[in-house]
Amino acid sequence: MASAHLLTFVHMSDTHFHLNPDYTEPFSVYGPRLSTEKLIETINALPMPIDFVLHTGDVVHLPETGESYTGARALLDTIRHPVLYVPGNHDNVAMFQHNFMGVPLDQITPTYDRVLTINNVQVVLLDSHAPADSSDAYGYLTDAQLEWMDGICSMPDARPLVVALHHHTLPLEAPWLDTMVLLNGDALHNILLKARSRIRGVFYGHIHESVATVRDGIAYYSAQSTWFQTRTWYGAEQPVSDPLINPGFNLVTLTERDTFVRFVRIPL
Ligand SMILES: [Fe+2]
Ligand SMILES: [Fe+2]
């Protein structure tokens, strides 16, 4: 028997918006804007109802002024669905809040965390950016954030739970990538175990590749970047560029019973 539909969302990530549309890096053969525009066109043409789009961070590549975020906002506002955001390690969390999310300057908080309910599904947006004095790419959750998550996961609650953050919570066992992991990911995982019966997935970006990891019955899914892609594997010492450069996103559907994650790549 079919299981009742709860929610469908698009998971996209790592737009790395740059004011220079032709900006490139060694791994990229085109600027981040072109591929993001194509991806948005594809999302906007999806034939099924979409409840929201989830963007798991690295919204902007090198934010020096608020103008980067104004530009990113103009581009991402062409998405015809509501969009939920978490910041990534490339984001400046103050500018992200003020210039992108419209938070008044006197209400900016050290981390940007949110919990909301959509179609009776609880959605947690967790800010995993490392302390501001660090230029490293790893992620970190403060004690206050872990306590907040613990409160959510310990509460008796029957609603399905979706968690989103930028970094990989668990190492991917690829040494080059695991210097950029969420440093206290084990602490987060142990908290999530308290909500194991209702958690439908932890959705993240950062690694520019789509990977699914399951530990202790909790599934972690990453989305590809809308810009350049990497490819990794168990034990990989060095980053490798994915020769199939096409960007992608994940299409996630929750029913009363199941969670479906479809990995979509788009033509350029
Ligand atoms: Fe990124
Ligand atoms: Fe990142």
pLDDT profile of the chain (268 residues), mean per 10 = 96 96 86 94 98 98 93 98 97 96 97 98 96 77 98 98 98 93 97 98 97 98 95 88 88 98 94
CA of 58 to the centre of ligand 2 (A): 6
Summarize pLDDT for 121-133 with one digit per residue, the tens: 999 999 999 876 5
pLDDT at residue 245 in the model: 82
CA of 98 to the centre of ligand 1 (A): 21
CA of 51 to the centre of ligand 2 (A): 25
Closest CA to 127 of 116, 138, 114, 143: 114
CA of 143 to the centre of ligand 2 (A): 21
Number of domains in the chain: 1
Backbone angles phi, psi at 86, to 5 degrees: -125, 150
CA of 205 to the centre of ligand 2 (A): 7
The sign of the torsion formed by the CA atoms of 73, 79, 83, 87 equals negative
Burial of 251 (0-12, 13-18, 19+ CB in 10 A): middle
Ligand at minimal distance from the CA of 15 is: 1
Residue 232's contacts (CB-CB under 8 Å, 6 or more residues apart) are 172, 174, 176, 177, 207, 209, 211, 239, 240
Neighbouring C-beta atoms of residue 101, cutoff 10 Å: 16
Ligand at minimal distance from the CA of 60 is: 1
Query: Rounded to two decimals, what is the model's pTM?
Result: 0.97
pLDDT at residue 132 in the model: 61
CA of 206 to the centre of ligand 2 (A): 4
pLDDT at residue 27 in the model: 81
Name the residue range of residue 177's domain. 5-265
Beta strands in the chain (DSSP E): 5-12, 52-55, 83-85, 114-118, 121-125, 161-164, 199-204, 212-215, 218-222, 230-231, 240-241, 248-255, 259-265
Contact 95, 103 (CB under 8 A): no
Count Cα neighbours of 73 within 13 Å in the Cβ-side half-sphere.
14
Quote the CA–CA distance of 79 and 83 in Å, as a whole number.
8
User: DSSP letter at 2?
Assistant: P
CA of 166 to the centre of ligand 1 (A): 9
3-state secondary structure of 15: coil
> What does the block give as tokens for 83?
């969009």
CATH of the domain at 23: 3.60.21.10
CA of 47 to the centre of ligand 2 (A): 30
Per-position b or e across 2-21, b if 16+ CB within 10 A of its CB: eeeebbbbbbbbbbbbbbee
> What does the block give as tokens for 53?
């789009």
